[in-house]
Amino acid sequence: MDVAEIISHHILDHDWGVALGGFRIPLTTHSVTILAVSVVLFGLLCWIARARQSRSGRLLTALAEEYVLFIRDGMVLPNMGKEGKNFLPYFCTLFLFILFVNLAGMIPEMKTATSNISVTAALALCSGGLILYSGLKFHGIIGFLKGFVPSGTPGWLVPLIFPLEVVSLVIKVCVLAIRLFANMLSGHMVLICLLLIIFIVGQMHVAAGAGALVPAMCLEIFMTCLELLVAFLQAYVFTLLTAIFAGSVIHTH
């Protein structure tokens, strides 16, 4: 049994090798997952918006309103203030998208696109763009640059503090990408390794494999439930940190 091959097959992205008219189409498992999640989310939200007359439609509409209030009152307003209201659609979309992509990896034959550093880096760049836009919108270029130097800093320290603060902002964006990538990748690797324990021990001895079946499956069920919690938690943390970082450039000290 090639453990490395099995893990890479379930974790890494794979090119589908689709070509049209002699041109290669960059279609991979992760890109298909992202596209499918986007279509499902778009269709679901459109259906909720139009199905207000039925009982189920009113229930879903109420849930959607509670979700928006959760994002607005729990993340945006406490960290960005009233200035963050204009960015509420982005945060609502960001949380739902990351959550659904995380959960999609729990479906058989699908993979978690957020375990790909390219995907999380793209999401982090979007949040980084929002952070820069927030600072430039409310302070202008000069005011935004002044925000990198805390008030009361001695003049001789400015050449040292300014580049450190710029690097700090870049690190914050990188942290968004690495945190989401590392947590989702490690979680799925643990799930796969727990299942592989049964087969690895079973190759040594049939009785030992049968004995490892029950504890390994109990751990697998526990880790699956934990992974569902992590899927929600990582979407929450990513969205919350984006709001915190954006609020830090809006309300400078």
DSSP assignment of 161-175 equals: HHHHHHHHHHHHHHH
pLDDT at 252: 73
* pLDDT tops 90 at residue 229: no
Cβ–Cβ < 8 Å for 122, 34: no
pLDDT band at 95 (very low <50, low <70, confident <90, very high): very high
* pLDDT tops 90 at residue 94: yes
CA distance 13 to 33: 11
Can you spell out the DSSP letters for 37-80? HHHHHHHHHHHHHH--SSHHHHHHHHHHHHHHHHHIIIIIHHHH
Q: Is the dihedral of CA 84, 90, 94, 96 positive or negative?
A: positive
Q: For 24-79, write each residue's pLDDT tens digit.
A: 777 788 888 889 899 999 988 888 877 766 677 778 888 888 999 999 999 999 99
Region of poorest pLDDT, from 37-51, 91-105, 145-159, 195-209: 195-209
pLDDT at 211: 67
Q: Is the dihedral of CA 244, 245, 250, 253 positive or negative?
A: positive
Helix (H/G/I), strand (E/B), else coil: 9: helix
Measured from the Cβ of residue 51, the count of other Cβ atoms closer than 10 Å reads 15
Inter-axis angle of helices 88-104 and 55-71, to 10 degrees? Answer: 110
Q: Mean pLDDT across the chain, nearest whole number? A: 82
Cβ–Cβ < 8 Å for 249, 147: yes
pLDDT band at 218 (very low <50, low <70, confident <90, very high): confident
Cβ–Cβ < 8 Å for 83, 250: yes
Beta bridge partners of 28: 15
CA distance 197 to 217: 10
Q: For 108-153, write each residue's pLDDT tens digit.
A: 777 788 888 989 999 999 999 999 999 888 888 888 888 778 777 7
The verdict on pTM exceeding 0.75 is: yes
CA distance 179 to 10: 20
pLDDT at 124: 95
pLDDT at 237: 94
CA distance 84 to 242: 11
Cβ–Cβ < 8 Å for 111, 105: yes
Measured from the Cβ of residue 54, the count of other Cβ atoms closer than 10 Å reads 10
Cβ–Cβ < 8 Å for 6, 192: yes
* pLDDT tops 70 at residue 253: no
Radius of gyration of the CA atoms of the chain, in A: 23
CA distance 199 to 212: 9
* pLDDT tops 70 at residue 228: yes
pLDDT band at 6 (very low <50, low <70, confident <90, very high): low
CA distance 70 to 73: 6
